[in-house]
Amino acid sequence: NAGVTQTPKFQVLKTGQSMTLQCAQDMNHEYMSWYRQDPGMGLRLIHYSVGAGITDQGEVPNGYNVSRSTTEDFPLRLLSAAPSQTSVYFCASRPGHSSYEQYFGPGTRLTVT
Amino acid sequence: ELKVEQNPLFLSMQEGKNYTIYCNYSTTSDRLYWYRQDPGKSLESLFVLLSNGAVKQEGRLMASLDTKARLSTLHITAAVHDLSATYFCAVDMSYNTDKLIFGTGTRLQVFP
């Protein structure tokens, strides 16, 4: 198993551009989440999904969209990038009911100029 | 609003010594996580604590949970340099939804 994969690893955007961060897992996990981590801080939840077709907002959802059309993929879309979205983005997954350990992807470092 | 506070924020300790990191949270929760993060790396899951009085141990690390006090501790026994990292606790906001709130982390440095 490749586990949780994220692409790209690094990205530089200009203000106002849009892009999609990709996240995939090959472990048939039901639950997937997106977090951002700013320097010197813990992670903050952006959006999460408890299964294909089901998503919900986390702590800091503004400026981001998600969809979950398959169990494997959970892309994060930045609609109109802003410098405040400069951060490291982590995707995570876990199996689902009664299995709580989360597996994190390697992260995407995004800079918005 | 659920808040999660860790202390200390920074911890410099000598090899062989013991120390405890504290994680306080502000509302009731049924799950608490501990993670490790090395510089520039992703998060590694250490422990998931699911009930009051839960205690888990892995090597030199032991985590415990007191839901009545809304407190979790991560105890380090006989620290070694390889334990140098940032440690985060995270608390689930609601039942079985993965709405985790993270603490700000404790940066641990172990020196000879």
- pLDDT tens for each residue of A5-58: 999 999 999 999 999 999 999 999 999 999 999 988 889 999 999 999 999 999
Q: Which of B44, B48, B46, B83 is nearest to B65 (CA)?
A: B48
Three-state secondary structure along B46-66? EEEECCCCCEEEECCEEEEEE
* pLDDT score of B96: 63
Cβ distance A42 to B105 less than 8 Å, yes or no, reads yes
CB spacing of A42 vs B97 below 8 angstroms: no
Tokens read off for A41:
């801080």
Query: B residues 43-72 near A, CB within 8 Å?
Result: 43-45, 48, 50
Model confidence pLDDT, tens digit, residues A57-95: 999 999 999 999 999 999 999 999 999 999 999 999 998
- Residues B43-96 have pLDDT tens digits of 999 999 988 889 999 999 999 999 999 999 999 999 999 999 999 999 987 766
Name the minimum distance, in Å, from the CA of A80 to any CA of chain B: 25
Contact A41 B104 (CB under 8 A): yes
DSSP secondary-structure letter at A99? B
- Report the C-alpha gap between B40 and A60 in whole angstroms: 22
Kindly determine whether residue A43 and residue B99, on different chains, have CB atoms separated by under 8 Å: no
What confidence tens digit (pLDDT) does each residue in B17-31 have?
999 999 999 988 878
CA-based torsion, B40, A107, B60, B25: positive or negative: positive
Distance from CA of B16 to the nearest CA of A (A): 27
